[in-house]
Structure 1
Amino acid sequence: MMFARRTLAAGILAASLAPLAAWAHEPQRGPNGGQKVDLGSSHAELVAEGNTLRLYLFDASDRPLPASGATAQAVVLAGGRQATVALAPSRDNLLEGQGDFTAVRGMRAVITLTLQGQRPAQARFTPMDQN
């Protein structure tokens, strides 16, 4: 009987925390209007317009993180086609690149980012599908 009560209590607790866990990992809109997600130990915001990707970098406290020395690559799936886009530091906390794609609703991008002196980190984006 004691085991059943503990199991029931654990189940209720897990069910009540599930929406919080989903909310915590839900992509957010960044200050530049793009989709912002966790990327390694930092945050990144992806903005897609036309055939251009802009990746803004932020530290864990959402302060701009310098892009100098960083490298990134995006694998973009848009319009039934796949394109690889190299992103290079442009200014401040921004990496940019252009590729053979057009930003459309439903597109997906997998970004691999390497910050200077760190291991590569990956994140998935759906930049055109935000609420």
Structure 2
Amino acid sequence: MFRRRSLPLLAALLAPLPALAHLPAGSRGPNGGQVQDIGPYHGEMVAKDGELTLFLFDHNDRPVAAAGASGSAVLLAEGRQQTLPFTPRADGAALVATGEFRAAPGLRVVVQLVPGPGLTRAQARFTPADPPR
């Protein structure tokens, strides 16, 4: 009799937890940008004409301050390649890179990120202006 009562409890404890897959790669993040895994973080790229904004989140989807981070974006747009440096935004909540490009479908961005001093460089590929998958 004891086993029958504990079976539903055991099944509930062993069931997979869908909440563990918070921001899956390729989805849209809280700022409307494309999400990709980048090292130990989730990166959300928002593209506007002439500006890329990269928001960082930990794997529990909590925002990570970008104040100590650095990196670059290798951008391919309209058949032209540019390398743009990221700088922390004034409020420290994101990294920003500016250049001459249109945020149109087909825009490709490879981000190289150093999350902070002494941390390993990470890389991710984004297509921030393409429709979500």
Tell me the TM-score normalised to structure 2 length.
0.77
CA distance in structure 1 between the aligned counterparts of 2:119 and 2:58, rounded to whole angstroms: 14
1:1-131 mapped onto 2 (5 Å cutoff):
26-90=25-89, 91-116=91-116, 117-131=118-132
CA displacement at 1:103 relative to structure 2: 1.4
Note the aligned Cα RMSD (angstroms). 1.4
String of CA shifts for 1:77-104, please: whole Å, max 9, x gaps.
0111111111111123200110122211
CA contact (8 A) 1:29 1:130 kept: no
Higher helix share: 1
CA displacement at 1:26 relative to structure 2: 4.3
Change (3 A) 1:25 1:66: closer
Change (3 A) 1:107 1:97: same
* Structure 2 gap segments, 5+ residues each: 1-22
CA distance in structure 2 between the aligned counterparts of 1:28 and 1:58, rounded to whole angstroms: 14
Change (3 A) 1:76 1:64: same
* Moved segments of 4+, more than 4 Å: none
Give the length in aligned residue pairs: 108
* Structure 1 gap segments, 5+ residues each: 1-23
